C-alpha cells in the first residue's frame, strides 16, 4: 500500500505543548541558565523573562565584576559574557516556540547542539550602575543558524552596550 503523501504534507497545525509543559520548560530554562551553567552562576545572571517577544536577564553589580578599579565600572568581559549567554537563552526560547509541539525535555535536549559562532559587542558607555538588564531579539532562526541582537542597560535605563551574535542551533 502506498503512503498517502497528501495527508503527510497537509498543513494541519501541530498541537501546542500544554500550559503545564510550558511551565516545566520555563523552569528548566531558568534552572539551566542560573544554576547549571557554572559561568552564568559565577556572574550571577538572573532570568527576568522567557517570553518569545521579551527575553531578559539581570546582572547585579558586585566588586568582583569590576574591570576598572579607579572607576568601579563593569568589566567588558562580563558584558560580553552576559550578552552571549542572553543570546543563547533567547534562541532556546525561539526553538521552544518553533517546536511548540515538543515536550520541555525534547526542547531542552536541543541545547546540546548549540554554540556561539560569532559575537560582536559594541561598548557604548561605561558600565556603571547597581544592576544591568539585558534584552535580546532573535532576528533569524533557520534550520542550522540563529541570529540575535542584544542590548544591555544600566539601572538608570542608559544603554551600555549592544551586540549581535550567531549560533549553530542544530
User: Is residue 11 very low, low, confident or very high in pLDDT (cuts 50, 70, 90)?
Assistant: low
pLDDT in tens, 14-55: 788 899 999 999 999 999 999 999 999 999 999 999 999 999
Q: What is the pTM for the complete model shown?
A: 0.89
C-alpha dist (Å) from residue 84 to 15, 18, 46, 47, 162: 32, 30, 14, 14, 11
CB atoms within 10 A of CB 34: 15
Contact 77, 102 (CB under 8 A): no
In the chain, what are the domains? 16-168 (3.10.129.10)
Amino acid at each position: 500500500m502506498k503512503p498517502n503523501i497528501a495527508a503527510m504534507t497537509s498543513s494541519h497545525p501541530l498541537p501546542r505543548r500544554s500550559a503545564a509543559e510550558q511551565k516545566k520548560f520555563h523552569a528548566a530554562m531558568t534552572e539551566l541558565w542560573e544554576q547549571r551553567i557554572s559561568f552564568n552562576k559565577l556572574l550571577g545572571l538572573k532570568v527576568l523573562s522567557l517570553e518569545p517577544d521579551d527575553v531578559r536577564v539581570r546582572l547585579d553589580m558586585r566588586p568582583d565584576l569590576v574591570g576598572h578599579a579607579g572607576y568601579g565600572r563593569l568589566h567588558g568581559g562580563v558584558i560580553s559574557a552576559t550578552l552571549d549567554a542572553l543570546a543563547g537563552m533567547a534562541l532556546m526560547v525561539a526553538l521552544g516556540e518553533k517546536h511548540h509541539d515538543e515536550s520541555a525535555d525534547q526542547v531542552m535536549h536541543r541545547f546540546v547542539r548549540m554554540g556561539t559562532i560569532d559575537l560582536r559587542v559594541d561598548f557604548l558607555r561605561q558600565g556603571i550602575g547597581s544592576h544591568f538588564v539585558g534584552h535580546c531579539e532573535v532576528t533569524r532562526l533557520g534550520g542550522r543558524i540563529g541570529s540575535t541582537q542584544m542590548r544591555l542597560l544600566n539601572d538608570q535605563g542608559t544603554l551600555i552596550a549592544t551586540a549581535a551574535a550567531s549560533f549553530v542551533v542544530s
